[in-house]
């Protein structure tokens, strides 16, 4: 059973349908005390980091997420759900994240627009994985995935950078993770075959 966290800022329907298409049994999680009841947890998200973290804290879900991660439950953050895994974000000020993966969330370089790269970074782009590919990333080497974001994650530990992408000449983290925690900057539910493969791999993942 997969718990899909519903805090009012995620593309829940599309993510749920994608997980179900690859064999997942999905239930929305709307109360903090429900989070620890599931075999896997997915945190989707669109919108602002500050608002997301405020909602997670106010509902008690922030502490519940940390608890379930500490218990070893496989956890996946998607897009904004990946960014809130980090220590802090510089989106509209400085805001603390869940600190499940040390690092920062930063805006693409200001001169990117001047050099012809629109922000947000939106559309199909690469997901470059190393030779020692993480098990959840098996079978998608060389595939493109679908991104929509203006901010990117910069993990402190290079070993926690599991896949990368470049927008123009600027590299950023596509997938991050450690132990039982994963984050994907792109939207697997919008990434067609590659995205479904990743979600199926997550369902079968045994960290």
Q: Break the chain into its structural domains and give their ranges.
A: 2-204
Residue 5's alpha-carbon distances to 13, 36, 80, 185, in angstroms, are: 12, 11, 13, 17
The answer to whether residue 7 scores a pLDDT higher than 80 is yes
The tokens for 192 are 């067609």
> What was the pLDDT predicted at 45?
84
SS3 labels along 23-86: CCCEEEECCHHHHHHCCEEEECCCCCHHHHHHHHHHCCHHHHHHHHHHCCCCEEEECHHHHCCC
3-state secondary structure of 205: coil
- Which percentage of the chain shows pLDDT scores above 90? 86
d(CA 150, CA 90): 12
The chain-wide mean pLDDT, for the chain, equals 94
> ω before 120 within 30° of 0 (cis)?
yes
Beta carbons within 8 Å of 165's beta carbon, 6+ residues apart: 125, 126, 127, 128, 147, 171, 172, 173, 174, 185, 186
Task: For residue range 106-159, list pLDDT tens digits in order.
Answer: 999 888 788 878 899 999 999 999 888 999 999 998 899 999 999 999 999 999
| This prediction's pTM | 0.95
> What was the pLDDT predicted at 182?
98
> If you classify domain 2-204 with CATH, what class do you get?
alpha beta
Which residues carry out catalysis?
79, 187, 189
Residue 128's alpha-carbon distances to 135, 164, 207, in angstroms, are: 14, 5, 22
The tokens for 68 are 């379930």
């Amino acid at each position: 059973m997969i718990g899909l966290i519903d805090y009012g800022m995620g593309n829940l329907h599309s993510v749920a349908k994608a997980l179900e298409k690859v064999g997942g049994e999905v239930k929305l999680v709307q109360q903090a005390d429900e989070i620890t009841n599931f075999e896997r947890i997915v945190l989707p998200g669109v919108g602002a980091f500050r608002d997301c973290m405020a909602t997670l804290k106010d509902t008690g879900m922030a502490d519940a997420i940390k608890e379930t991660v500490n218990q070893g439950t496989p956890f996946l953050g998607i897009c904004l759900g990946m960014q809130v895994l980090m220590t802090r974000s510089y989106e509209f000020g400085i805001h603390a994240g869940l600190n499940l993966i040390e690092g920062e969330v930063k805006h693409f370089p200001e001169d990117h627009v001047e050099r012809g790269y629109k922000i947000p970074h939106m559309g199909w782009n690469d997901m470059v994985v190393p030779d020692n590919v993480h098990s959840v990333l098996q079978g998608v080497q060389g595939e493109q995935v679908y991104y929509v974001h203006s901010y990117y994650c910069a993990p402190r530990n290079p070993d926690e950078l599991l896949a990368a992408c470049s927008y123009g000449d600027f590299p950023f983290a596509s997938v991050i993770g450690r132990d039982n925690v994963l984050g994907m900057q792109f939207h697997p539910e919008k990434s067609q075959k590659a995205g479904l493969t990743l979600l199926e791999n997550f369902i079968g993942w045994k960290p």
